[in-house]
Structure 1
Amino acid sequence: MKGLVAGFVATAILSALIVMKAMMGVMPELNPVKMIADMLDAPPAVGWAMHFMIGTVLWGTLFAWLNPGLPGGSHWLKGIVFAVGAWLVMMVVMMPMAGAGLFGSHLGMMAPIMTLMLHIVFGFVLGAIYALERPDPTGVLQGMRT
């Protein structure tokens, strides 16, 4: 359950950043929700639902399960390590499936950089929220309830 909560909050923060990026006109061709909807030949609402399902259920559950074995002392660092792995999966599997090429090469040089930055934020939030309900073994998050 703790992984699901952390996954949901991290996905909500990531989604807010995706919406802000779109409103600023930054890389409009890089829209993961639209990519999901297009791959499913579904309306944008389905893309959003799937985006939240992936971030909450898949990544949140998988993070909670893998957390004890992930490198990094604190949960937030483990979250970043985990999210970089999720980013690699997205770049090698999902981007080509969506027609964007390996590492989003058809979207330009900024696509992998932008998505990596977003995944790092996702991972930090994922681990930090998870740490609110789990002790932080390093005590790095002393300002948060550990």
Structure 2
Amino acid sequence: MSNIFKGLLAGLAATLVLSALMVMKTMMGVMPELDLPKMIASMMGSADTPMLGWAVHFMIGIVGYGLAMALLNDRLPGASPTVHGVIIGIVGWLLMMVMVMPIAGAGLFGMNMGLMAPMMTLVLHIVFGAVLGWVYGKLLSNTSGAALGHA
């Protein structure tokens, strides 16, 4: 299995975890205005089509972050794929805060929604990145173990 495919699988796993957390957050009534798939759909001119936002959310998580993990894992400082995933998650959060949030009308760092928006999205990106890196690392170690006859 190629490292790119492992990255895509890790991106899928991390996006599933993140999506579950986002749905639970909304179901608990915590910052319902922070609905990223809805924001994405609105930015694309389809505010009435939240499924489009979810599809783009999954594409970003799987393809964008999955490829970043596969391509950057060996280039980032340290030896832990989990730490590398967290670094990638934090960089993604920063890009979201200075590019996506202002475009979506939420202001720089989403401050139009209050201080909780950047804090919550940072925590979610750290969790996302940790899952991304951990799964990627497990996929790397499982393949190397299988190659050595240790699977």
With normalisation by structure 2, the TM-score equals 0.87
Per the alignment, residue 18 of structure 2 pairs with: 14
Matched, 1:51 2:60: no
Cα-Cα RMSD: 1.6
Identity of aligned residues (%): 56
- Show the 5 A alignment for 1:24-35: 24-35=28-39
Segments of 5+ residues of structure 2 without an aligned counterpart are 143-149
Equivalent-residue separation in structure 2 for 1:81 and 1:27 (angstroms): 25
Equivalent-residue separation in structure 2 for 1:28 and 1:107 (angstroms): 10
Equivalent-residue separation in structure 1 for 2:130 and 2:68 (angstroms): 15
Structure 1 residues 101-141: Cα deviation after superposition (integer angstroms, max 9, x where no partner) = 100010100100000000000000000110112149xxxxx
| Contact 1:70/1:82 (<8 A) preserved | no
* Aligned partner of 2:69 among 63, 74, 96: 63
Residue 71 of structure 1 and its aligned partner are, at CA, apart by: 2.2
Helix, strand or coil at the partner of 2:73: helix
The aligned length equals 138
Equivalent-residue separation in structure 1 for 2:25 and 2:16 (angstroms): 14
2:34 aligned partner, one-letter code: L
Larger gyration radius, structure 1 or structure 2: 2
1:19 aligned partner, one-letter code: V
* Aligned partner of 2:94 among 88, 92, 99: 88
With normalisation by structure 1, the TM-score equals 0.90
